[in-house]
Structures are given as structure tokens and as C-alpha cells.
Chains A and B, each alone.
Chain A
Amino acid sequence: MDNKLISSVSPHFTSRRTTQNIMLDVIIALMPAAVASVVIFGLRSLLVICVCVATCMVSEFLFEKLCKRENTVMDLSSIVTGLLLAFNLPVSIPVWQAVFGSMVAIIVVKQLFGGIGQNFANPAITARIIMMTAFSGTMTNWVFPGTAKMTDAVSSATPLVAAAKGTTSMIPSYLDLLLGKHAGCLGETCAAAIILGGIYLLVRGVISWHTPVAFIATVALMSLICGKDALYQVLSGGLLLGAVFMATDYATTPPTKWGKVIFGIGCGLITILIRFWGNLPEGVSFSILLMNILTPYISKLTQNKPLVGEAKV
């Protein structure tokens, strides 16, 4: 008997989908927004992105080395976290603060809870919230696009701040919102780029439509009910970025389609509550984080029922 044959339990082949190529798809989907941010805010935005991505990768590598865990840098998930965090920062953010935020995202929010797939909260969002609390000044130092040189940067209000304060002269047009010609975080201003990325992810089957549609529809509907401009609310702030890229994170959101719908509606409601009645002008980050915390319960509530059947003739 020749023993050269491999013996293993079925199945004997698997789909081509791997964690790595899912993450690669997400990175590709984030590219339009990255390019848009450089076009809108200038080269410094590239610097912020590179700093965040590099710090995330290095933190992951070193922390796993330190804990003698298997190295997971090659699954590319830390790059996604880095990109998303950078997209949630203003272009004028000091480099050391971006480094700090990236380390928080990877080490505190992701690795301390067990690494990829084990974290209960979205690393980029949680890190952003921590940075907003720690560096409230620099984190809200919005720069109007076109004033590329940071030395003479002109502080500006984001569309949501403008709307909240009622300074109508600062409110950009729909076209400006779509193209991203307004103040805001790096990756969130250009709605068109994010929508493009979202369509790519849907086509590639990386995300399902349930969460983004439920999230955005809830915000739009509630805006209409509250007598606000629905389209304006949808296109401004971090809503699209959050709905497409952050509320669809696998580990921190429910896996079933009804779970995703509930998650999206919950995010939408909290966003509206904060935007219209809270002290903060923007609520997407908090809404996703709060719904992340509810995820285990939503998952349990909406889990699939095994097809047990009953005898009947």
C-alpha cells in the first residue's frame, strides 16, 4: 500500500473567498474615498492615511509578537482599520495624535479582546470616540477644502455644525455634498466616492444591503418626520461612511439579515436623536458603538431556527 495519498475528511475543496481577499475588497472599495480626500484636502490627507495605516500594521505585528500570538498582519484587516480611522479624522490632526488613535484602535479595542473577529466594538469608531474626548480641540478643527497649507488653515464649520447652528450661509449645496467640497473628516465628505465603494462591496458580495439601507432609510424617514431636509441629512456628516463601511463590520454586527435590519434601524434612530436633540452635531459614531454593544442581544433574538420539521402525512 502506498501511503503517499492524502487522507482527510470531506469537503475536499473550498471556495476561493479568504479573509485576506475580503479585506482586499474592502481596501479597494475605500480607494475612491481615499483619492477624493487627497483631491479635496491636499497631500496632508495622504500623510494622515499613511500614518494611520502604518501604525495599525506595526501595532498589530508588535502586539502579536509580544503575546506570542499568530501573526495576522497578512490578513490585511489592520490596513482596513487604519484607513477607516484616518477617514474619521480631520486633515489637520497632529501626527502623534493619529499614531495614538491607531494604537488605541488596534491594541485596546481589537487585540485586547482577542484579535480579529473577537472584538465587540468597531476599532476605528471606538478609537475616534476616544480621540474626540481626549483631543476635542484638534479633532474638531475643521478645515475648508482648498486651504491646503496647514500653516494658514482657515477653520470652518462642517455642514452639520452649520445646520445645527443655523448659519445658513455656510451650508453647502447638494452637489458640493456629493463631491465632498465642504469641511469634514478626511474620508466622509465625498458622498459619491463612498457610494461607489459601497456598490463595489455589494457586487462582490462582501456586504449585504440590509444594514446600509435600513440605516440610511431610517435617518431619511426620521428627518422628514422631524421636518428637516432628508437628503441633506443623508449626504452630510459620517452617515454614508458609517452605514457602508462601519455598520457592516462582520465581528461587531449581527450575522442574520433581520439582525442587520434591526441594527441599521437602531443606528439610524440614535443618529437622529443625537443630531437633532443632542449636544453633539454628529451622532453616527456613537450610534454604531451603542448598537455594537447591543449586537449579541440582537443576534440572539434574530438567530436562525433550525429546520427541524414535524411528521405529518
Chain B
Amino acid sequence: MKLHGVHVPHMKNTADCEGVKMTAPAVVTIPMAMHIGKPAKVIVKKGDTVKAGQLIGEADGFVSSNIHSSVSGTVQKVDEMVSSMGAKVPCVVIASDGKQELYEGIKAPDPADFESFIAAVKLSGVVGLGGAGFPSFVKLSVKDLSKIQHVVVNAAECEPYITSDTRTMMDKGEYVFKGIEIIKKYLLAKHFVIGIENNKKDAINKMKSLAEKTEGVEVHVLPAMYPQGGEKVLVYNTVKKVIPKGGLPLDVGVIVINVTTLAFIGEYFEKGIPLIEKCVTVDGSAVKEPKNIIAPIGTSIKDLVEAAGGLKSEPAKVLYGGPMMGIAVPSMDEPVLKNTNAVIIMDKKEAEQNKTTPCISCGACLNHCPFKLNPRDIARAYKLGDGEALKKLCVDLCMECGCCSFICPAKRPLVQTNKLAKIKLREYLAEQKAMKEKEGK
């Protein structure tokens, strides 16, 4: 069985642009929630002097992450901001002194056992850099290490425009393999599969030549078909396993890790510098010169774009991430986050969306859904408020990749409706549970 998907235009304009390190901006705004989980607790106050790499936010609770200053300078204020996900989160605004002095306490970790390895990963503040931002130390805290059969390295990078993972493989390929050695050592994993889409020839060659020198690493070349980098899709296409609905890759003996995350871990164990900068693809129809910029976390999009050479036309829509699953931000003042792999700036023409017309029942949506869902029927059930039908249609399986909306000739907001239907289903299931409990009493 082959999973379906859609052919999106690649537009990898920046594939050959090595990441350029930008000079630190005058001010960085670092939110305390750049990960899935509880926001970090601020441990600095206004007027404090901080160095690059110094801890400013401490992981709070089990699923949380450490946050470090990305510049050296002075804390201007500890404020609150609305994150791109809509929640109010604390943030630390730091005025840079332009020196980028590293924190004195930085040293490469040398963990003796599994526990201290996890502690080191936690200390680094690394989260899933592919986009989800799930704290890596939580993911790697596997209770039963014997369950791990495969480690799948996600280097598919299936979104249009984005090339930051490609640059990781090209510029930091050695660190990717250092990361593999570390995972091998502490998680006792033996089989590694690096999944790369076939439109990245140079990266494939580089990974293949490095893989020859390492035992147990296979480079799996995948067709360039969106959403190849979706976790479940990638696991199915590389190791032929179906992650169950509501389950994790570990349920089928797999750990999936993004290639940039892995390279960061490799580099961190050599240098000890926590996650304070990120390679970001700056592209889109409004950008003058598409580039890959290595920016301090917390740099505003405005400063980032300035560093990349500015805009050629008025921005109409600005995205964190690619055009298929990226998040449209409300303003250019939004900061670069840990999991920001691209900033796409669209001009008016590119941002324009086609008018929605009536469904012609062509079946393109259900014939292109990787998980074989039926967006047309889901939309109908959602409109009718039919929770039972939504349950049967398994809308909670939807990963929101957007293939259905992309392919729909009537330009209907299908994945958008799926997202609403998922909320509706959750409400319905909660209602049912409450009713059952009532009956039980």
C-alpha cells in the first residue's frame, strides 16, 4: 500500500545558500513558551546583566523546556506577550551590548549514564526543531530502551521554500552523525534510517558518504511528495509501520527525530552551547534575496528580514514555517522561535486565496489524504453537528497536513473544517463520557 499525498511546488530557492550568521539585533524578545508544554519560569529580572547562553527561563513541570539568553546584554523588561498560538506567555526582552560574549558556565557535557544524558539534553533547552517544538529530553526519556527498534531521522523537508534542514545536512553533516553516535551510546539504538526527499541530491550524497563510515545507518531516499515529513507518513514509508491512532512512534518501536535537532545534540555535546540560535530560511515573493540566516532566538522578523537584504514589495502575509502548515503571524515584530525553520513573506498576489465554490464531489480530497480520511463527509458531519459520524470518520486521525485543501478544485476550506471538527469530536466524546458516568451513578 502506498500513502497518498500531493505534489506541491518545491520552490527550494535557497538550497544552495549556506546559512549566514547575522549580527545580533539591538533587542531580542524571548518568549518563555517556544515548546509544547508548560511555559518556562523566568529567573531573571529587569536590569540583570546576561551573557549569551545564560539560563533565563527554567523548565517548569515535566513537559517544559529551559530557555537561554541568545545575546549578551541587559534585561530591559520581563513582559507578557501573545504567542503565535494565541496564548499569553511571559517573555524576556534583552537589549544586546553587541559583544555576544558567551556565558562562563558553558562546558561540554560528558554524561556517565542515561539519566545524566537526559539531564544534559534538558539543560540544552533543545526542542523538536522540525516544527512541533516538543521538548527533546521528554521524547528521549524512553523507559524501556529495548523497545527501540529504529531511529528515523526526519530530513524529508517536504514543505515548499524551506531549506534549513538541507543546510543542516550540508553544513553540519558531521554533527548529524555525532548526534547519531550519541543516541547510539545512550539509547542503545542500533538501526538508524535517514529519510530524505529525492529533490535534495547534494544532501543525499553527503549523508550517504558519511553513512558509509558509520555502522547501522541507512539513507532512505523518498519521493518528493508532500507530506513526506509528516511523522506517521515518514515512519510508514521508511520502516513500513503504522503508528496507531492517538499513539506515539514508540508504540511501534520507533523514535523519530528531526535532522536539525540531531545535529544540534551532536554539536551541543561537543561545545556545550545551548539552543540560542537557529538557521532560518527567509523566502517568499516579497523577499528581495531569499537566504538562509542564522539568527539569535528572539530576533524580530523585521530585523531578520533586514539582515537578509530587505523586502522588494509590501508584505501581505508573514508565515512561521512553510505555506502548507505554517502559522500566519499578526505582525513583523514577532520573534524567531526555537522551532522556526523558515519565515515566508508573501506579497499581495501570493497571499491571495481563490474564492470558494460549491463542492463538485470529485473525490480529490479523499483520494489524496495520506490517512485515507474523507474530508467531504467530515465537513458534512461537522455542519450537521453529528459527533457520532465524526467519530466513525476518524477525524481525530487528521494530522492537518492540508493536502485536501490544497488539491480541492472548489477551494473549499477542508482541513480548516477538519480542525474545527476535531474540537467538536473532543467535546462530543467528553459529553458522552460525562453522560455514562451519570448513568453509572
Give A residues with C-beta under 8 Å from B.
1-15, 17-19, 21-22, 70, 72, 75, 77, 115-118, 250-251, 254-257, 303-313
- B326 is an interface residue with CB less than 8 A from chain A: yes
CB neighbours (8 Å) of B318 from chain A are: 5
CB neighbours of B314 from chain A (8 A): 4
B360, A250: Cβ atoms under 8 Å?
yes
Q: A residues within 8 A CB of B374?
A: 303-304
- Contact: A15 with B406, CB < 8 Å? yes
Contacts of A115 in B (CB 8 A): 358
Interface residues of B (CB under 8 A from A): 3, 6, 147, 149, 160, 232, 242-245, 247, 251-253, 314-319, 323-333, 344, 346, 350-351, 353-354, 357-364, 366-367, 369-374, 393-394, 397, 400, 402, 405-411, 413, 415-416, 419
- Nearest CB of A to B358, in Å: 5
Whether B416 and A9, one on each chain, are in contact in the complex, defined by CB atoms closer than 8 angstroms, is: yes
Q: Which residues of A contact B346 (CB under 8 A)?
A: 12
Given A2-B331, A10-B324, A307-B397; A15-B407 close (CB under 8 Å):
yes
- Are A5's CB and B407's CB within 8 A? no
Q: How distant is B402 from chain A, measured CB to nearest CB, in Å?
A: 4
Q: Does A14 lie within 8 Å of B332, measured CB to CB?
A: no
Taking A19-B409, A305-B372, A309-B242 as contacts, is the C-beta distance between A11 and B325 under 8 angstroms?
Answer: yes
* Beyond known contacts A17-B407, A307-B3: 16 more, CB 8 A cutoff: A7-B328, A8-B353, A12-B317, A14-B405, A15-B406, A17-B364, A18-B357, A18-B411, A21-B409, A72-B357, A117-B360, A118-B358, A309-B242, A309-B244, A310-B242, A313-B252
Knowing A10-B402, A11-B405, A12-B351 touch, does A311 contact B247 (C-beta < 8 A)?
yes
**Cβ of A8 and Cβ of B244 under 8 Å apart?**
no
Measured in the bound complex, the distance between the Cα atoms of B346 and A116 in whole Å is 33
A5 touches B362 (CB 8 A): no
Closest 6 CB pairs of A and B: A255-B363, A309-B242, A11-B402, A304-B372, A306-B394, A309-B244
Is the Cβ of A309 less than 8 Å from the Cβ of B243?
yes
Most buried by B among A8, A19, A312: A19
Contact of B333 among A1, A308, A309 (CB under 8 A): A1
Given A5-B318, A306-B393, verify A11-B329 contact (CB < 8 Å): no
Residues from chain B with Cβ under 8 Å of A4 in the complex: 314, 316
Q: Find the residue from A5, A70, A75, A77 having the highest chain B CB count within 10 A.
A: A5
Question: In chain A, what residue has the closest Cβ to B403?
Answer: A11
Chain B min CB distance to A262 (Å): 14
Residue on B with the closest CB to A307?
Answer: B371
* Complex: A115 Cα to B361 Cα, angstroms: 12
CB of A13 within 8 A of CB of B147, answer: no
A310–B324 Cα distance when bound, in Å, is: 28
Q: Who on chain A is nearest to B144 by CB?
A: A313
Q: Contact: A3 with B330, CB < 8 Å?
A: yes
Contacting residues, chain B, for A7 (C-beta < 8 A): 317, 328-330
- Cβ A6 vs Cβ B317 within 8 A: yes
Please pick, from A70, A250, A304, A313, the residue contacting B253 in the complex, using a CB distance under 8 A. A313
Q: Complex: how many Å from CA A9 to CA B360?
A: 23
The distance in angstroms between the C-alpha atoms of A135 and B144, with both chains bound, is 78
